[in-house]
Amino acid sequence: MSAVPNTILSATDFSETADRAGELARDLARIFEAQFHLLHVIVVFEDPHLEERHRQQLDELVATGDDARRRELENGAEDQPGIEITPHMARGLAPAEVIVETASNLGSDLIVMGTHGRRGLSHLLLGSVAERVVRTSSVPVLTVRADADIDLEGVPRILVPHDFSDASVDAVRQATTWATALGAEITLLHVVEPVVYPEFYSVDVLSDDLMMRLVARSEKALRTAADELLGNVEATIKVEVGRAADSILNQADPEHFDLVVMATRGLSALEHVLLGSVAESVLRRCRVPMLAIPGS
């Protein structure tokens, strides 16, 4: 996988959110001088009980819609100075699987797509195509919300959460390469999560003195990591105390940062249900674009 993308795949469903993601993808294609592919996935609904006559009528109706979407896709690939856009249409039962498969077939080293940031019941029922792509992709995935602030002018600012794991080190290295190419500044963030026990156990929380020592130790380790991993990139370190996802989101303010880069563990289905994922929690709620780096 290339440190900076040579081939970018942007997925679109022609929504405002997808258009916002496409704008950022095109800007990155210009900056990185990367090949750009624009993909629309046509979702196929299979019904084995559908009569042949009704199936033919449905196929004709879908074909009419396909022509309209193909024209819209081709229009989106025109008039983009500085880059050449190759449009693609693909069919499949699951959009996330088609996106990941297409990225692999094209040799893409970055997927860019919008996320609707669903939470609560709607997220439980509908899930998120973006989250499924992040969970299964072997290449970085850049997700963008419709209301995301995008500004690559001047000196971009990149927030990189770092928990000292191998996966997190990979994310820091990826962020460093992007920062060098974009002329950006990096802030390394480590979150110290206090251990909170239910009152039933009658266990005292960590003392203020111990917490201060944990923070100081984390700051020292974070500075060492910055010196070893960031090279000549201008960097700031920051240690916060709190829940990891909430602390990251509090820091990822559009007024202070333009991009969040963080690792994702690629949890199995059962582990994901039981443990959740900090990266996916941040993805749903992050107000700035987020680059998810898959774990090795």
CATH code for the domain of 14 = 3.40.50.620
Q: Where are the alpha helices (DSSP H) in 110-268?
A: 120-126, 129-136, 166-182, 208-229, 244-251
pLDDT score recorded for residue 248: 95
Which of 132, 148, 164 is where one domain is finished?
148
Same domain, residue pair 139 and 4: yes
User: Average pLDDT of 32-57?
Assistant: 69
Tens of pLDDT, residue by residue over 61-76, are: 445 545 556 666 656 6
Q: pTM value?
A: 0.83
Query: Any idea which of 2-11, 34-43, 134-143, 144-153 has the lowest mean pLDDT?
Result: 144-153
Per-residue pLDDT band at 15 (split at 50, 70, 90): confident
User: Average pLDDT of 36-49?
Assistant: 74
Same domain, residue pair 133 and 179: no
Give me the domain span that covers residue 180.
149-296
Tell the residue number behind the tokens 């700035």, with chain if given.
Answer: 288
Same domain, residue pair 130 and 264: no
C-alpha of 8 from chain center: 14
Same domain, residue pair 142 and 156: no
pLDDT score recorded for residue 211: 82
> Strand, coil or helix: what is 159?
strand
Same domain, residue pair 131 and 193: no
Tens of pLDDT, residue by residue over 69-106, are: 666 665 665 656 678 888 898 888 889 999 999 999 99
Which of 148, 177, 207 is where one domain is finished?
148
Number of domains the chain contains: 2
Contact 289, 144 (CB under 8 A): yes
Q: Which two tokens stand for residue 214?
A: 């944990």
Same domain, residue pair 125 and 195: no
Same domain, residue pair 3 and 144: yes
Tell the residue number behind the tokens 């996802």, with chain if given.
Answer: 245
Same domain, residue pair 133 and 153: no
Same domain, residue pair 160 and 268: yes
Mean pLDDT estimate for the chain: 80
What is the amino acid identity at position 97?
Answer: E
Same domain, residue pair 110 and 168: no
